[in-house]
């Protein structure tokens, strides 16, 4: 009615909606929402690095000329937030540094990936709350006044990070299956690219949030498609068994279901895939399959980093027969003269020849043994051998003596890992005999 007094609560609500400060908070909350959703792909790659760089940009971004003009950086400067405190930055900085170092080691990376689906979504959730707290000066005092949209965003961010983390882990798993110890260095190269991409992506996300949102969406979608394509291709490579009709790998020597022999097994490539060329022979094919961490009978991928172990498909006990082990070791030993010759030629080239020489002897002489050793044994051997290799590398630049450096490195690694695997298999055989007795 005319002349009536508005309800007090309604009046406060109207004033809050029309308050310029409230409009500012709304704009900042939009930036917080864009940052949260746009950083999903970044958190699936580096959780602690993403959180640390985000906090640093919010704390010191106004002092950096290339991001100081961002509306979000300008408005959050000086906002009270636990997320940008000295203690939080120190802890996040330490964790980010450890994360970067850990992802450069194939063994440590494989170990921490088991916890990534739980850790990364949690860090993404806490980081989003930190961004929200800095875009609302009253967040700590009156959490109920923060925009509900900010918290609804967590229902997108958390499952999104979890899903992309799973996809990334699966894709790295395919690379690991082909080169489990990263002897070629592709995984480490990708890891460095991820470090740079996360830092640069966060800066661009602050400057151009909508554009980065689209770009990260494209990259994340590509990651998922590549993973699914690889998995589909792996399954499509199987062919029906001539006896029972069950699918089996073309490189298998026998069917995992009925044990019928494969009349024409195919050779296996460097990545463990079946080729179109015929296999060289039953014994050579079995050794090649084991070298690529596949069952020597049905060619199924072996999941454990130990020996002996049972095939998950046909149940064959891999590397349990001493005659087969002797043949496998002899097959690798037959490569030593050729590998040492190539390494000597490469080692005579100062500095440049070192990297390809190391890759060759790792793939040909070390990887066939190392991929069947548990984590603790591998790390111990790496530490012991690294001391000797460090001394040898110092002489690689010497004109004549340098030609012997890489071959010596190859011999040291080959002898150490072959001996370690032999002791491991002998210990397992003794335990079986003692149990049977």
* Residue-wise pLDDT tens digits, 187-212: 788 888 888 888 888 877 777 777 77
- Shared domain check, 74 and 34: yes
Looking at residue 363, what is its pLDDT? 87
- Shared domain check, 270 and 411: no
- Shared domain check, 403 and 283: no
Q: In DSSP terms, which residues pair with 261 in a beta bridge?
A: 254
Q: Which two tokens stand for residue 291?
A: 């070298």
**Average pLDDT of the chain to the nearest whole number:** 78
Q: Which two tokens stand for residue 379?
A: 């790390």
**Mean of pLDDT values over 129-145:** 53
With 0.85 as the threshold, say if the pTM is over it.
no
- Shared domain check, 161 and 13: yes
Backbone angles phi, psi at 267, to 5 degrees: -70, 160
Q: In DSSP terms, which residues pair with 294 in a beta bridge?
A: 301
Q: How many residues does the chain have?
A: 437
pLDDT-derived band at 315, boundaries 50, 70, 90: very high
- Shared domain check, 111 and 96: yes
Q: What single DSSP character describes residue 243?
A: T
Looking at residue 319, what is its pLDDT? 92
| Range ranked top by mean pLDDT from 10-19, 137-146, 181-190 | 181-190
pLDDT-derived band at 78, boundaries 50, 70, 90: low
Q: pLDDT exceeding 70 applies to what percent of the chain?
A: 77
pLDDT in tens, 393-412: 766 666 666 678 888 889 99
Say whether pLDDT at 329 is over 90: yes
Q: Structural domain tally of the chain?
A: 3
Helices (H) and strands (E) in the chain, counts: 19, 6
Looking at residue 179, what is its pLDDT? 66
pLDDT-derived band at 152, boundaries 50, 70, 90: low
- Shared domain check, 229 and 140: yes
Residue 1 lies in a domain: no
Residue 115 lies in a domain: yes
Looking at residue 8, what is its pLDDT? 41
Residue 184 lies in a domain: yes
For residue 248, what are the CA distances in angstroms to 78, 256, 260, 277, 380? 63, 7, 11, 17, 38
Say whether pLDDT at 147 is over 50: no
Domain range holding 363?
Answer: 335-428
Q: Are 133 and 139 in contact (CB under 8 A)?
A: yes
| Range ranked top by mean pLDDT from 317-331, 364-378, 383-397 | 317-331
- Shared domain check, 182 and 274: no
């Amino acid at each position: 009615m005319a002349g009536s007094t508005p309800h007090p609560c309604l009046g406060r609500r109207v004033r809050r909606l029309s308050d310029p400060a409230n409009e500012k908070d709304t704009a900042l909350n939009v930036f917080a929402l864009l940052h949260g959703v746009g950083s999903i792909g970044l958190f699936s790659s580096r959780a602690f690095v993403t959180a640390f760089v985000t906090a640093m940009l919010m704390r010191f971004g106004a002092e950096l000329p290339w991001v100081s003009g961002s509306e979000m950086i300008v408005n959050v400067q000086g906002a009270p937030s636990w997320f940008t405190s000295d203690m939080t930055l120190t802890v996040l900085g330490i964790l980010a540094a450890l994360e970067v170092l850990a992802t450069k080691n194939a063994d440590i990376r494989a170990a921490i990936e088991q916890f990534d689906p739980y850790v990364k979504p949690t860090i993404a959730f806490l980081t989003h709350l930190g961004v929200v707290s800095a875009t609302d000066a009253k967040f700590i005092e009156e959490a109920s006044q923060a925009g509900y949209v900010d918290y609804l965003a967590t229902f997108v961010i958390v499952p999104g990070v979890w899903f992309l983390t799973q996809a990334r882990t699966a894709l790295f798993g395919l690379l690991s299956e082909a080169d489990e110890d990263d002897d070629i260095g592709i995984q480490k190269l990708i890891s460095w690219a991820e470090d740079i991409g996360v830092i640069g992506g966060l800066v661009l996300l602050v400057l151009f949030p909508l554009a980065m949102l689209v770009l990260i969406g494209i990259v994340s979608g590509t990651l998922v498609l590549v993973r699914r394509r690889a998995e589909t291709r792996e399954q499509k490579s199987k062919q029906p068994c001539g006896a029972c009709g069950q699918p089996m790998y073309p490189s298998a020597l026998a069917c995992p279901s009925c044990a019928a022999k494969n009349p024409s097994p195919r050779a296996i490539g460097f990545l463990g895939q079946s080729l179109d060329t015929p296999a060289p022979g039953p014994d050579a094919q079995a050794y090649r399959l084991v070298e690529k961490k596949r069952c020597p009978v049905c060619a199924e991928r072996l999941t454990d980093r130990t020996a002996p172990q049972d095939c998950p498909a046909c149940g064959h006990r891999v590397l349990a027969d001493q005659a087969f082990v002797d043949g496998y070791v002899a097959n690798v030993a037959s490569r030593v003269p050729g590998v040492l010759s190539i390494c000597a030629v490469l080692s005579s080239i100062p500095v440049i020849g070192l990297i390809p020489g190391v890759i060759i002897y790792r793939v040909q002489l070390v990887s066939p043994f190392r991929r069947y050793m548990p984590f603790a044994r591998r790390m111990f051997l790496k530490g012991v051998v690294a001391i000797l290799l460090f001394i040898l590398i110092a002489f690689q630049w010497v004109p004549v003596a340098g030609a012997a450096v890489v071959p010596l490195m190859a011999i040291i690694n080959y002898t150490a890992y072959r001996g370690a695997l032999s002791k491991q298999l002998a210990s397992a055989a003794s335990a079986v005999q003692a149990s049977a007795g």
